[in-house]
Structure 1
Amino acid sequence: MAAGGGSSSVGLPCVFSPKSRQYLALCAQDGRLRIWNTDSKTLHQEYVPTAHLSATCTCIAWGPCRTVKEGPQRKKRKSEATGQVEQKADLLAMGTAAGSILIYSTAKGALHCTLDGGHSGGVNCVQWHPEDSLLYSGSEDTYIIEWDLQTGKTRRKWKADQSSVTSLCVSPDGKLLLSAGQIIKMWNLETKEVYRKFTGHSTAVTTLCFATTRPPDSNGLYFLSGAAHDRFLSVWQVREDGKEKHSVVSFTLTDEPRHIDLFTSNSKEEAMRLAVVCKDGQLHLFEHFLNGACKKPLLPSCTVQMSGVEDSPVPIPLLAAALGTDKQTVMLAYGNHLQPVMEKVEINMGARHVCLTRDVKTTLALYVETSVSKVKTPVVNAQSKMLVPGLPGHQAPVKPSSQASEKRKKGMDNKEMSIEERLGEIDLSRVSADSGALKGMASLQTDNFAVLLVQGLESKDANILNKVFQTRKDGVIKKTVARLPLPAVLPMIEEISKRLQGHPFTAVLMVRWLKAVLMHHTSYLSSLPDLVTQLGVLYHMIESRVRMFHKLTKLHGKLYLLTTQMAASKSSNTGVDVDHTAKLVYEEESDEDEASGDEGLLPDDNSDHWEEEEETEEKMDEDQEGQVSEEEEDEDERTESKANGEEDMEHENESEEE
């Protein structure tokens, strides 16, 4: 059983029809739905939604095959009516950025119905129920809605996660639903309750797909998950005990997955076949038996890459791939989204790497020629004049040479001149900056910087570009950039990014031009969907220089700290000399004064004795002056010692002295 991987919200939606793989549905950058027939390699149908510019298509999913009534037909015979009725892929669900879902019918070639009013944010993913006429959608508003296509209304709406729902997948039996936000959750569709939870991706999960059809009450149910900016596909096992901590298998990729197609495994003896188209345009084919955990990441059994037939081959990106019934046949869609090339190829699975060379230009030219019905060539008259398109004022005087005039007189009047002859007749000798140039004659407008800039970008002439980019006047730069046509904006930015990597003097001038381009053409640049990939070199260069700027600022701060410390130490050393003369002198007392007092009787090392010593010193000074007697000193010392709690000790000392 083949399971289509659908499309994620990362790239442009692109998916093959189920079972027969007869159609390829693709939403291009202009918002139009194009359905290509893979058998005839032609455009089958094209549908333009009413709000395709404001509410672009974000995801596509084919509905299950069903019996389709294709308008009025002749009555079939009984022998034809008794035969089996063929089921075809008809309905196609498209989620939009406005929150509505469009159901398109390929049998009618028109819109079947519109499902709106359910989501308040953009729809990221849509998935069909395999049996019933039910549709599930996940949105930026963190909700999942179950739609009934018979009534066109919601049957159930519930909150799935704290963040937006980025991917959905319904089990082959229609009983389980996988949803991914911050966490992968498995829901029971009957009760709308969480059956299991799986954690392991650090970025938004963009791909979910069941790998086996075994029931969930055994250890044989597996599913795949892929995330943005992740180069692995993880395989998870739904166990009976509910202990699903880590993924059991990992498939190694070269870039994040964009499109997945697989054949599910019905038993342990049957291998799962997987085809993954990555963001870099390569196809990886895997074949693995899902029978438990595998420690090492698995490498692809075969990698397919496409390139052109030029002297320097350019890689051709693959858009989608579909596995065939046999192991070697693969349906490929490659090239441009506006007109993809579909081809069924046989790949040698024994080779690790297969490179297919194709000439896409001739293939597209064949398709274009078949679509053109009638072409009428204009009649050229000898008396008629031909107006050649060009820039206004960009003209030069035409002076027919003598040789060319003689040839035309000899019988070539009725023959149209070639481009080489016309260029030879243009006399550029008169185009000069000399003062002796003839007045009134037209000349090349070499003073117009916008004209020179366009010429330099188209011809990649370094001399012309150097002359234009050497100007430093902001007014001239702004006027030149404002007159620049829109198709020349991206080549202008690419040229600026190349020159920014050169000499610093050149980079200073290029920054002014880059600033002017971003200021004048922001609206045009914001309308480009793949601007990030086109300006990747510029982004990378700016980020690397910003990182280096942070390191330089840290180094500058450390050096500034060291220089300020050195300056402070020098200023402290060169300060005013300190005056070493004493402001206060302490003189020790004589032995007689010490013996006269009772200082030695009091205990040392007590904070309370400082006051007593000061008082005794004052009293000794009074004795020297003859104002206080010795008896009064003893009485004062006793009263103070009683207040300090040392009365007993001093009584003993007094008795000893007596």
Structure 2
Amino acid sequence: MRNINTWLLVAMASDVDARGLMFPCAFSSKRPDFLALSSPDGRIRVWDSHSGSLRHEYVPSAHLSASCTCLAWGPNRVDKEGPQRKKRKSEAAVSTEQPDLLAIGTAVGSILLYSTVKGELQSRLDGGHDSRVNCIRWHQDGTYLYSCADDKHIVEWETQTGKVKCKWKGDKGSVSCICTSPDGKMLLTAGRTIKLWDLETKNMYRQFTGHSSAVSVLMFATVQPSSESHPFDGITGLYFLSGATDDRLLSVWQVRADGKDRNAVLSFTLHDEPAYVDIALSESKDEPVKLAVVCRNGQLHLFEHILNGFCRKPLAPNSTIQIATSGKDEQSVAVPVPILAAAFCPDGQSLMLVYGSTLHPIIESLALNTNEKHICLVRDIQKSVTLLTEQAVTKIRTPIVPSGTKVLVPGVPGHSAAIKPLTTDKGKRSDKRKTDTEKELSIEERLCAIDLDVMKVKSKGLPKTDSHAVLLVQGLESNDSDILNKVLQTKKDGPIKNTVSRLPVHAVIPLLHELTKRMLGHPNSALLMVRWLKAVLTLHSSYLSTLPDLIPQLGMLYQLMESRVKTLQKLTRLHGKLYLLIAQVSSSEKMQNMGDASQTAKLVYEEESSSEEGSEDMVADESDENWEEEEEEEKEYVEQSDEPDMSEQQVNGDSDMNSDSEEE
């Protein structure tokens, strides 16, 4: 059981180290009494820093498609508390300041204002951005709110009306981070270059070199009182720091009146990319600046330094803090626990640490000590987190059934669990409870008993259409070509439409990229991908029309469709010419086949006129001498005969008359 718990803890720690630090979190302003944390499941939870209990939990209506990208607490509001009965003159109302509004930036460009006092969403700010919101900062008086996004713009909001007061372009590219000055008269913005703006006129006062990658950390390091006539009079001595992604340095910049401030004057070295930074401002030149930096690897670095100008050598941390579990037994292994965030308390002598999992973080107050170079805190996560794993495991009992009974359990095909047969020995009934507890399987043995036969699942082929969408999403996320080939080989329009209609919104763009890649391949594959492409563009057209950067994302698909449409006219002409040639060839073959037919007549009909003409022709063919002799003989014979029929018989031929006379 100890090994299983250690294995689960290692998995939890690795998961948080890989992904947990990527989710935004923020302490309440002025006093770190509350912690707002966006968890991987899309929920936003507000924890009490002192008791560690959950105070509020908010689930946005579109928390899956419009996930939280940044958090910012508003200034504390004055809340008057007093007895409910009618107050006496001697009684005075007690006023306390408590944090209330929490600004939530989303991936679709909207900003949500959540009230922790009422426990509900107060307002929604729309119309300022049309892409991912990267950073939100409140004005000191709480009447204005500033935000930046991937659309290159900075927006100033009126929190009372929820409308845009001012909007201007902040950079040539995406604006990743902003910060307001302590006096509320200046604004720092950064994409890759850092700019300082006058909030009254919205004019850029100074531009700094910046970083080679997107800036993720930006905040003022000193409080510099400015002149009442102009906020930039006597600005020399104002410092601010910045950090970027994939960078292990925090750069410190000085704003100077002479304009020679393009390069950083100081840098702090880190072991990894900064994830969360908190700073205790110095109100005088002789007071050091305290800096707490939480890196991606889960370690905390503490810095103390007096900002007094240029420093060539990068400064190393004064102290490094990390947390690990206790390895009491020989079998157990000490596992590092990642630190999620850290904030200075108002007294400046203590620090608030957040570590563990994002689903159930542990908040602890720690006394600030920078004398020790390396500090390792040993904490027992199993006792701190209220996840009763051992108690839940001991309540599980394996069902006891006869050996001949067939048990149907839910799960995937091939799943089989160890089932104890029913004992029929009557003599062992008294020791039945004892043997059951002794032979009860542990979690490790039960996990080993699970049988997932992958070949049996594959042999049964793909499931029905309602699960094709699940397989398609898994194939797109894991980039598994086998799963994608099996799903995308569907040729019927009905299953294709059902699969695409059940597809989640976040998988539409990856599916279009996959279809575009396959259309560039074999022509047979392109013919099949056109059906999928038609279904996606038809069923998800409303979602695609809301994407601001659709053209650069689908640029290759547009070019592919345009190139194929251009050749359509030429292909049509070629098709017509080929059709004419084929028709002519087929017609010539038919004419040749008709000429080979037999011309012999099976029946000939002749009229009387034709027979007489034939007889005359036959007589005319004879020689002239025979014709004259026959003519004289006919004349003599006609004169002798009395009947006209005899002459006809003679004309027809003498051979017939002779034959008749001989017969008589």
- TM-score normalised according to structure 1 size: 0.60
Which among 288, 305, 313 is matched to residue 322 of structure 2?
305
- C-alpha displacement of 1:22: 1.1
Report the counterpart of residue 247 of structure 2 in structure 1: 230
Which among 59, 64, 79 is matched to residue 68 of structure 1?
79
- C-alpha displacement of 1:381: 11
Which among 186, 204, 219 is matched to residue 176 of structure 1?
186
Report the counterpart of residue 29 of structure 2 in structure 1: 18
1:33-52 CA-to-partner distances (Å, cap 9, x unmatched) read 10001122110000111111
SS in 1 for 2:130: coil
Which among 332, 346, 370 is matched to residue 353 of structure 2?
332
Q: Indicate yes or no: 2:362 matched with 1:341.
A: yes
Report the counterpart of residue 56 of structure 1 in structure 2: 67
Which among 190, 193, 208 is matched to residue 203 of structure 2?
193
SS in 2 for 1:365: coil
- C-alpha displacement of 1:279: 1.1
The verdict on how the C-alpha distance between 1:361 and 1:478 changes in structure 2, with shifts beyond 3 A counting, is: farther
Larger relative CO (CA 8 A, sep 6+): 1 or 2? 2
- C-alpha displacement of 1:260: 1.0
In structure 2, what is the Cα distance between the partners aligned to 1:445 and 1:62?
A: 47
The verdict on how the C-alpha distance between 1:346 and 1:387 changes in structure 2, with shifts beyond 3 A counting, is: farther
- Equivalent positions of 1:504-543 (< 5 A) are 515-516=481-482
In structure 1, what is the Cα distance between the partners aligned to 2:389 and 2:34?
A: 20
SS in 1 for 2:482: helix
Structure 2: stretches of 5+ with no match in the other structure: 1-19, 227-231, 443-448, 489-502, 508-664
The verdict on how the C-alpha distance between 1:321 and 1:521 changes in structure 2, with shifts beyond 3 A counting, is: farther
- Equivalent positions of 1:50-199 (< 5 A) are 50-68=61-79, 73-81=84-92, 83=94, 85-199=95-209
- C-alpha displacement of 1:516: 3.2
Which among 277, 280, 283 is matched to residue 297 of structure 2?
280
Which among 342, 356, 360 is matched to residue 321 of structure 1?
342
The verdict on how the C-alpha distance between 1:411 and 1:23 changes in structure 2, with shifts beyond 3 A counting, is: same
AA paired with 1:51?
A
The verdict on how the C-alpha distance between 1:389 and 1:105 changes in structure 2, with shifts beyond 3 A counting, is: same
Which among 444, 450, 454 is matched to residue 449 of structure 1?
454
Q: How many residues align?
A: 445
The verdict on how the C-alpha distance between 1:10 and 1:246 changes in structure 2, with shifts beyond 3 A counting, is: farther
AA paired with 1:193?
N
1:96-134 CA-to-partner distances (Å, cap 9, x unmatched) read 111110011111111111110111111111100012510
- TM-score normalised according to structure 2 size: 0.59
Report the counterpart of residue 54 of structure 2 in structure 1: 43
Q: Indicate yes or no: 2:417 matched with 1:417.
A: no
The verdict on how the C-alpha distance between 1:185 and 1:382 changes in structure 2, with shifts beyond 3 A counting, is: closer
- Equivalent positions of 1:253-652 (< 5 A) are 253-310=270-327, 311-365=332-386, 405-406=424-425, 409-412=428-431, 417-418=436-437, 420=439, 448-450=453-455, 515-516=481-482
Bigger mean CA deviation after superposition, 67-76 or 326-335? 67-76
1:542-580 CA-to-partner distances (Å, cap 9, x unmatched) read xxxxxxxxxxxxxxxxxxxxxxxxxxxxxxxxxxxxxxx
AA paired with 2:430?
G
Is the 1:68–1:107 Cα contact (8 Å) retained in structure 2? no
Is the 1:96–1:123 Cα contact (8 Å) retained in structure 2? yes
1:505-534 CA-to-partner distances (Å, cap 9, x unmatched) read xxxxxxxx965368679999x98xxxxxxx
- C-alpha displacement of 1:447: 10
In structure 2, what is the Cα distance between the partners aligned to 1:397 and 1:284?
A: 50
- C-alpha displacement of 1:175: 0.5
AA paired with 1:417?
D
AA paired with 1:331?
M
Is the 2:400–2:419 Cα contact (8 Å) retained in structure 1? no
SS in 2 for 1:182: coil
- C-alpha displacement of 1:243: 1.4
Is the 1:10–1:206 Cα contact (8 Å) retained in structure 2? no
SS in 2 for 1:417: helix
Is the 1:382–1:413 Cα contact (8 Å) retained in structure 2? no
In structure 2, what is the Cα distance between the partners aligned to 1:220 and 1:147?
A: 30
Is the 1:23–1:38 Cα contact (8 Å) retained in structure 2? yes
The verdict on how the C-alpha distance between 1:30 and 1:243 changes in structure 2, with shifts beyond 3 A counting, is: same
- Which 4+ stretches in 1 moved above 3 angstroms? 68-80, 325-328, 366-370, 375-378, 380-383, 385-401, 404-410, 412-416, 444-451, 475-480, 513-524
In structure 1, what is the Cα distance between the partners aligned to 2:79 and 2:389?
A: 31
- C-alpha displacement of 1:182: 2.6
Is the 2:340–2:355 Cα contact (8 Å) retained in structure 1? yes
Is the 1:69–1:107 Cα contact (8 Å) retained in structure 2? no
In structure 2, what is the Cα distance between the partners aligned to 1:38 and 1:150?
A: 29
Bigger mean CA deviation after superposition, 227-236 or 69-78? 69-78
- C-alpha displacement of 1:306: 1.1
1:310-338 CA-to-partner distances (Å, cap 9, x unmatched) read 43222211111011245542110111111
Structure 1: stretches of 5+ with no match in the other structure: 1-8, 424-443, 454-474, 494-512, 528-658
In structure 1, what is the Cα distance between the partners aligned to 2:310 and 2:336?
A: 36
AA paired with 2:62?
A
- C-alpha displacement of 1:21: 1.2
The verdict on how the C-alpha distance between 1:197 and 1:447 changes in structure 2, with shifts beyond 3 A counting, is: closer
- C-alpha displacement of 1:418: 3.6
AA paired with 1:40?
S
AA paired with 1:280?
N
The verdict on how the C-alpha distance between 1:450 and 1:348 changes in structure 2, with shifts beyond 3 A counting, is: farther
Report the counterpart of residue 617 of structure 1 in structure 2: none
Give the number of the structure whose alpha-carbon radius of gyration is greater. Answer: 2
Is the 2:192–2:210 Cα contact (8 Å) retained in structure 1? no
* Fraction of identical pairs, as percent: 49
The verdict on how the C-alpha distance between 1:396 and 1:313 changes in structure 2, with shifts beyond 3 A counting, is: closer
In structure 2, what is the Cα distance between the partners aligned to 1:22 and 1:395?
A: 50
Report the counterpart of residue 459 of structure 1 in structure 2: none
SS in 2 for 1:81: coil
Is the 1:130–1:172 Cα contact (8 Å) retained in structure 2? yes
SS in 1 for 2:436: coil
The verdict on how the C-alpha distance between 1:376 and 1:282 changes in structure 2, with shifts beyond 3 A counting, is: closer
- C-alpha displacement of 1:153: 0.6
SS in 1 for 2:69: strand
Q: Indicate yes or no: 2:221 matched with 1:206.
A: no
- C-alpha displacement of 1:478: 8.5
In structure 1, what is the Cα distance between the partners aligned to 2:335 and 2:141?
A: 44
Report the counterpart of residue 599 of structure 2 in structure 1: none
